[in-house]
Structure 1
Amino acid sequence: MSGKPFLLNGREFGYLNPYLIAEIGVNHEGSIERARRMIEAVAAAGGHAAKFQTYKAELLATRDTSPAYWDRSKEATASQYALFQRWDNFGDDDYRALSDHCAACGIDFISTPFDLPAVDLLAPIAPLLKVASADLTNIPLLRKIGRQGLPVVMSVGASRLDEIATALAELHRAGAANVTLLHCVLNYPTPPVEARLAQIVELARVFGSQCAIGYSDHVTPDVDGSMPALDVAALLGSVVIEKHFTDDRTATGNDHYHAMDGDGLAAFVNRLARLRELYGDSQLDLSGQKAAIDNARRRIVTVRGIDAGTVLGEDDLIALRSNRGIEIAHWDKVVGRTLARTVSEGESLNWADFQ
Structure 2
Amino acid sequence: MTVFNYSKIKKNKQFYLIAEIGVNHECSVPRAKKLILLAKKAGAHAAKFQTYKANKIASKESRAYWDTSKEKIKSQLELFSKFDKFNYKDYKILSTFCKKLKIDFLSTPFDLGAVDMINPLVPLFKISSSDITNVPLLRKISSKGKPVLLSTGGSNEQEIRFALKVLNSKKKLKIVLMHCILNYPTKDRDANLLMIEHLKNNFRGYPIGYSDHTLPNKDMSNITTAYLLGANVIEKHFTNDKKKKGNDHYHSMNSDDLKMIIEKINQINKVLGKSKNKNFIKSEIKSRKNARRGIFISKSIQKGERLDKSNLITLRPNIGISAENWDKILNKKAKKTLKTGTKLKWKNIR
The interval holding the TM-score normalised by the smaller chain is: over 0.9
Output one character per residue of 1:143-178: Cα deviation in whole Å (capped at 9) or x when no partner.
101001111111010011111111110011144521
Say whether 1:36 aligns with 2:33: yes
Name the structure 2 match of 1:317. Answer: 312
- Give, in angstroms, the shift of residue 8 of structure 1: 4.1
- Give, in angstroms, the shift of residue 291 of structure 1: 2.2
Give the TM-score normalised by structure 2.
0.94
Name the structure 1 match of 2:20. Answer: 23
- Percent of aligned positions with the same letter in both sequences? 44
RMSD: 1.7
Distance 1:11 1:49, change over 3 A: farther
Q: Is the 8 A contact 2:208 2:233 kept in 1?
A: yes
Q: Is the 8 A contact 2:4 2:16 kept in 1?
A: no
Name the structure 1 match of 2:94. Answer: 98
Output one character per residue of 1:57-113: Cα deviation in whole Å (capped at 9) or x when no partner.
1111112x1111111111111111111111111111001111111111101110000
Out of 247, 254, 257, which is 1:261 matched to? 254
1:25-64 residue pairs with structure 2 within 5 A? 25-63=22-60
Aligned-partner residue type, residue 311 of structure 1: R
Name the structure 2 match of 1:279. Answer: 272
For residues 348 and 171 of structure 2, the distance between their equivalents in structure 1, rounded to whole angstroms, comes to 76
Say whether 1:221 aligns with 2:216: yes
- Give, in angstroms, the shift of residue 280 of structure 1: 0.9
Out of 333, 340, 348, which is 1:338 matched to? 333
Q: Is the 8 A contact 2:297 2:312 kept in 1?
A: yes
Output one character per residue of 1:29-64: Cα deviation in whole Å (capped at 9) or x when no partner.
11111110111111112211100000111111112x
Distance 1:287 1:243, change over 3 A: same
Say whether 1:233 aligns with 2:265: no
Name the structure 2 match of 1:349. Answer: 344
For residues 212 and 289 of structure 2, the distance between their equivalents in structure 1, rounded to whole angstroms, comes to 48
For residues 43 and 208 of structure 1, the distance between their equivalents in structure 2, rounded to whole angstroms, comes to 32
Name the structure 1 match of 2:183. Answer: 187
Question: Structure 1 segments of 4 or more deviating over 6 A?
Answer: none
For residues 172 and 123 of structure 2, the distance between their equivalents in structure 1, rounded to whole angstroms, comes to 13
Q: SS in structure 1 opposite 2:223?
A: helix
Out of 118, 124, 131, which is 2:120 matched to? 124
Q: Is the 8 A contact 2:210 2:234 kept in 1?
A: yes
Q: SS in structure 1 opposite 2:231?
A: coil
Q: SS in structure 2 opposite 1:154?
A: strand
- Give, in angstroms, the shift of residue 336 of structure 1: 2.0
Q: SS in structure 2 opposite 1:22?
A: strand
Aligned-partner residue type, residue 217 of structure 1: D
Name the structure 2 match of 1:3. Answer: none
> 5+ unaligned residues in a row in structure 2: which ranges?
none
> 5+ unaligned residues in a row in structure 1: which ranges?
1-6
Output one character per residue of 1:299-324: Cα deviation in whole Å (capped at 9) or x when no partner.
11222111122121232211222353
Output one character per residue of 1:215-252: Cα deviation in whole Å (capped at 9) or x when no partner.
10001011x3x221111111111121111111111212
- Aligned length, in residue pairs: 345
Q: Is the 8 A contact 1:300 1:325 kept in 2?
A: yes
- Give, in angstroms, the shift of residue 16 of structure 1: 7.2
Q: Which has the higher contact order (CA 8 A, sep 6+)?
A: 1
For residues 282 and 4 of structure 2, the distance between their equivalents in structure 1, rounded to whole angstroms, comes to 36
Q: Is the 8 A contact 1:148 1:175 kept in 2?
A: no
Report which stretch shifted further, 72-81 or 131-140.
Answer: 72-81
